[in-house]
Amino acid sequence: MSSSSLPTAPAFTARDVAVAYDGKPVLRDVSFEIARGETVAVMGPNGSGKSTLVRALLGVVPLSGGQVWIGGTPLRRFRDWAQIGYVPQRLSVGGGVPATVREIVASGRINRRRRFRPLTAHDRDAVTEALTAVGLLDRADDSVYHLSGGQQQRVLIARALAGEPDIFVMDEPMAGVDAANQQALARTIESLAARGATILLVLHELGPLEPLIGRALTLENGTLVSDGAPQHSDHGCCSGRDHSRTDTGRPPPTLPYIEVSRRA
Ligand SMILES: Nc1ncnc2c1ncn2[C@@H]1O[C@H](COP(=O)(O)OP(=O)(O)OP(=O)(O)O)[C@@H](O)[C@H]1O
């Protein structure tokens, strides 16, 4: 366990967290703890502040109020980023610089490696294992720009896996991923949970992750309106609250197959 976190401290503690963009509040008075080893979903309607919350927990956006601790260390003093695997909502490989799938995934090792040293055998094994887990080993040498949106999403997940972190923060990891690969990713996430990882996921619906999610933090208009078991509809499907993108009153069993091109 790293020197900058306490083994028994919660993975995340948020107390009265507030965030404002350009002076406009988007999160208010959000407080919760996530214990080590928990798997927790952040749910809520579009624009309710889900991504902002996970970004605030990682210091990607500044707090306008309140405090965050990671593993018991105040966020401003937290340095052990190798502990954390962050899967953002979309890939940004600055400026259209050509990068292969393998290079992007290997960048997930950056906090584990000694500076300016070549990849070790263990680094290479971790990258191969991560690519295998997301089913992209055969695309390892392709440019990420030649992948579909859903495949790029899987590259981001592989990058986080390659870093072998204890804590995963995934912002809509299933978005744009086809149903078969959602099932495969759900199995990967399940095995991470089984080996004791802490997993915080922004989700629009539980879909194939339903059996894994015992707790959902539900946001509405930037405030935490519920923290507990995800709500089950009469149809047996699960969601946080009324955040479905469908107009049928209940979410579909899996996300639709949307291959949104993110090519440069
Ligand atoms: N960088 C930004 N600058 C200004 N406003 C922002 C920025 N990012 C998000 N917002 C606004 O903050 C609010 C919360 O956005 P956020 O992306 O956190 O919501 P969300 O619940 O994750 O939404 P979605 O489900 O659509 O991804 C929205 O009103 C959004 O327009």
In this predicted model, what pLDDT tens digit does every residue of 18-54 receive, in sequence order?
A: 999 999 999 999 999 999 999 999 999 999 999 999 9
Q: Whose CA is nearest to atom 5 of ligand 1?
A: 21
Q: Give nearest CA residue, ligand 1 atom 23.
A: 47
Residue 77 has φ and ψ, to the nearest 5°, of -105, -5
> What pLDDT, on the 0 to 100 scale, is given for residue 264?
29
Position 90: which residue type?
R
Sheet of strand 65-70: strand arrangement: 24-34, 12-21, 65-70, 73-74
Which two tokens mark 169? 């923060």
What was the pLDDT predicted at 111?
A: 78
CA of 48 to the centre of ligand 1 (A): 7
Q: How far apart are CA 222 and CA 205, in angstroms?
A: 18
**Every domain of the chain and the residues it spans:** 12-239
Q: What is the pTM of this model?
A: 0.83
Flag residues of the chain having pLDDT under 70.
Answer: 1-7, 91-97, 113-116, 232-264
Distance, CA 18 to ligand 1 centroid (Å)? 14
Ligand 1 centroid distance, CA of 21 (Å):
9
| Torsion over CA: 175, 126, 212, 241 (sign) | negative
> What does the pLDDT read at residue 131?
95
| Residue with CA at minimum distance from ligand 1 atom 8 | 52
Q: How far apart are CA 237 and CA 64, in angstroms?
A: 36
State the closest ligand 1 atom to the C-alpha of 219, by its place in the atom list counted from 1: 21
Interatomic CA distance for residues 158 and 193, integer angstroms:
16
The domain 12-239 is classified under which CATH number: 3.30.70.920, 3.40.50.300, 1.25.50.10, 3.40.47.10? 3.40.50.300
**How many angstroms is it from 46 CA to the middle of ligand 1?**
8
Structure tokens that stand for 95 in this block: 């400026």
Report how far residue 249's alpha carbon sits from residue 236's, in angstroms, rounded to the nearest whole number.
13
- Predicted pLDDT of residue 155: 92
- What residues are in contact with ligand 1 under a 6 Å CB criterion? 21, 26, 44, 46-52
